[in-house]
């Protein structure tokens, strides 16, 4: 078990508005989220001494924006913008996903490098199509994908979903219940982009195909916005305003598929199982210790593949678990109780961490899992750059 298990806590949460294309500059959205997270904990900017993120714009194909405050918000720039640059003792910035910065920030807090660290993710939707390979040449790994029209990330997930469907005899109809229930969860989440827009089974079955069998409703929606999480020591958290959510364990994945393909079903299984082994070892827990799960859903198939990789379901049985409603609120294991990224908007895993921490500190309002004690959050698809976290209730 991790020596620092339950020594670091989530003590504050903040969101900016999440909209499709915001008139407000990204840096202001970031400041809004961070001020909200600080206030949530009963703190001010003057208490902040750590900032961590992964600032890249995740656009595929076309040019990526790099303008500070518009396309990206780095922690150095943000410290200045918040007027507390000279107080910031720790800055973290990863090339992977933001949830790796969460690991770094937790260690910075645990080791005493800083006292109050905010992990944030500010995302900007670029103008034009999010996915548009408009370069003449494809270099690096793209040379094996883009010439074949395989540069649309949902198409990568589609090859995983298709193989799963064919191997185990499922179809999109088996996914419908989860997608509909997930959108219903979103209706109970004040931050949800899709709040106010419930859907029915036929909406899913008739949804526009991006890359068959992946429809638009199997993909999270890119938004302009920011989410922020305040981390501090468990001890310090007890003096702050909210009930703490204790970080019991964390893990990162390092499994890669062959470099000629972006992902395969088999590699995702292997990767999720690797993260699972590490997260259970880190937290000293196992699948039966968890009472709610927040499984990355940037693309819908990852939800049931995480169920399988974590050992909650056997290979091939994860989709049946969702089809039969076991992941719904009130089900055996409520999953993505706030609607996940499919419902809330694309925040690269912040959604899963925030919901997990919120459940074990009784902060989920109408979607609260009664008495939730331990929650797991998994981020990405199980392959390299994936992460997992277990949060536990801080007080009875």
Best CA proximity match to 358, nearest among 307, 389, 388, 393: 393
- If one asks whether residue 170 binds another protein (CB under 8 A), the answer comes out as no
Question: Helices 301-309 and 153-168 meet at what angle, rounded to 10?
Answer: 60
- If one asks whether residue 300 binds another protein (CB under 8 A), the answer comes out as no
How does DSSP assign 150-165, residue by residue?
---HHHHHHHHHHHHH
CB atoms within 10 A of CB 17: 15
Among 7, 45, 87, 163, binds another protein (CB under 8 A): 163
Please identify, among the stretches 112-120, 149-157, 222-230, 365-373, the one whose residues bind another protein according to the rule CB under 8 A: 149-157
Q: Rank residues 7 and 163 by Cβ distance to another protein and give the closer one.
A: 163
- If one asks whether residue 272 binds another protein (CB under 8 A), the answer comes out as no
Quote the tokens at residue 315: 């290979």
Among 111, 135, 171, 254, binds another protein (CB under 8 A): 135
How far is CA 145 from each of CA 136, 150, 211, rounded to the nearest angstrom? 13, 5, 14
- If one asks whether residue 265 binds another protein (CB under 8 A), the answer comes out as yes
- If one asks whether residue 210 binds another protein (CB under 8 A), the answer comes out as yes
Least Å distance between CB 131 and another protein?
7
Please identify, among the stretches 156-164, 168-176, 242-250, 366-374, the one whose residues bind another protein according to the rule CB under 8 A: 156-164
Question: Helices 350-359 and 98-110 meet at what angle, rounded to 10?
Answer: 50
- If one asks whether residue 76 binds another protein (CB under 8 A), the answer comes out as no
- Report the C-alpha gap between 103 and 91 in whole angstroms: 13
- If one asks whether residue 97 binds another protein (CB under 8 A), the answer comes out as no
- If one asks whether residue 258 binds another protein (CB under 8 A), the answer comes out as yes
Adjacency order of strands within the sheet including 117-123: 90-93, 50-53, 117-123, 225-233, 8-15, 245-252, 387-393, 374-379, 292-295
Least Å distance between CB 141 and another protein?
7
Least Å distance between CB 253 and another protein?
17
- Report the C-alpha gap between 270 and 253 in whole angstroms: 10
Residue bearing tokens 């974590």:
310
Q: Rank residues 127 and 330 by Cβ distance to another protein and give the closer one.
A: 127
Q: Rank residues 70 and 209 by Cβ distance to another protein and give the closer one.
A: 209
Quote the tokens at residue 297: 């859903």
Among 24, 93, 132, 368, binds another protein (CB under 8 A): 132
Among 133, 203, 289, 373, binds another protein (CB under 8 A): 133
Q: Rank residues 107 and 261 by Cβ distance to another protein and give the closer one.
A: 261
- If one asks whether residue 260 binds another protein (CB under 8 A), the answer comes out as yes
- If one asks whether residue 159 binds another protein (CB under 8 A), the answer comes out as yes
- Report the C-alpha gap between 306 and 308 in whole angstroms: 5
- If one asks whether residue 162 binds another protein (CB under 8 A), the answer comes out as yes
Please identify, among the stretches 7-15, 103-111, 118-126, 161-169, the one whose residues bind another protein according to the rule CB under 8 A: 161-169
- Report the C-alpha gap between 337 and 49 in whole angstroms: 31
- Report the C-alpha gap between 19 and 270 in whole angstroms: 36
Among 9, 146, 341, 376, binds another protein (CB under 8 A): 146
Least Å distance between CB 158 and another protein?
4
Burial class (CB in 10 A: 0-12, 13-18, 19+), 83: exposed
Size of the site for another protein (CB under 8 A): 47
SS3 350: helix
- Report the C-alpha gap between 273 and 256 in whole angstroms: 13
- Report the C-alpha gap between 214 and 201 in whole angstroms: 15
- If one asks whether residue 168 binds another protein (CB under 8 A), the answer comes out as no
Please report which helix (H) or strand (E) contains residue 227, including its range: strand 225-233
* Binding residues for another protein restricted to 34-73, rule: CB under 8 A: 61
SS3 117: strand
Please identify, among the stretches 9-17, 231-239, 259-267, 301-309, the one whose residues bind another protein according to the rule CB under 8 A: 259-267
Q: Rank residues 255 and 363 by Cβ distance to another protein and give the closer one.
A: 255
**Interface residue list for another protein (CB under 8 A):** 61, 129, 131-152, 154-155, 158-160, 162-163, 166-167, 208-214, 258-261, 264-266
């Amino acid at each position: 078990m991790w020596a620092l298990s339950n020594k670091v806590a989530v003590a504050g949460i903040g969101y900016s508005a999440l909209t499709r294309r915001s008139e407000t500059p990204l840096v202001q959205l970031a400041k809004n989220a961070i001020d909200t997270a600080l206030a949530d904990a009963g703190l001010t900017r003057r208490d902040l001494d750590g900032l961590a993120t992964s600032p890249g714009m995740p656009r595929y194909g076309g040019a990526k924006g790099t303008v500070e405050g518009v396309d990206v918000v780095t922690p150095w720039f943000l410290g200045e913008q918040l007027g507390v640059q000279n107080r910031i003792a720790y800055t973290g910035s990863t090339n992977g996903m933001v949830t790796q910065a969460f690991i770094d920030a937790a260690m910075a807090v645990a080791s005493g490098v800083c006292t109050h660290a905010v992990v944030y993710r500010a995302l900007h939707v670029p103008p034009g199509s999010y996915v548009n390979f408009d370069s003449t040449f494809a270099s690096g790994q793209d040379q094996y994908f883009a010439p074949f029209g395989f540069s649309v990330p949902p198409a990568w997930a589609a090859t995983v979903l298709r193989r799963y469907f064919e191997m185990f005899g499922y179809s999109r109809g088996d996914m419908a219940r989860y997608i509909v229930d997930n959108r219903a969860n979103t209706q109970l989440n004040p931050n949800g982009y899709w709040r106010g827009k419930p859907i029915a089974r036929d909406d899913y079955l008739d949804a526009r195909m991006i890359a068959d069998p992946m429809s638009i409703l199997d993909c999270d929606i890119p938004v302009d916005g920011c989410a922020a999480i305040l981390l501090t020591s468990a001890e310090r958290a007890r003096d702050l305003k909210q009930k703490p959510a204790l970080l019991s364990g964390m893990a990162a994945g390092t499994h890669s598929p062959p470099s000629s393909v972006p992902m395969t079903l088999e590699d995702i299984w292997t990767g999720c199982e690797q993260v699972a082994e590490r997260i259970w070892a880190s937290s000293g827990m196992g699948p039966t210790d968890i009472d709610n799960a927040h499984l990355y859903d940037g693309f819908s198939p990852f939800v049931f593949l995480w169920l399988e990789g974590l050992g909650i379901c056997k290979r091939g049985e994860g989709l049946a678990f969702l089809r039969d409603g076991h992941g719904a609120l009130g089900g055996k294991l409520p999953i993505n109780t706030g609607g996940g990224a499919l419902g809330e908007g694309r925040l690269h895993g912040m959604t899963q961490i925030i919901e997990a921490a919120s459940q074990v500190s009784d902060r989920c309002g109408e979607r609260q899992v009664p008495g939730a004690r331990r929650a797991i959050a998994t981020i990405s698809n199980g392959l390299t750059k994936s992460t997992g976290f277990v949060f536990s209730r801080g007080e009875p």
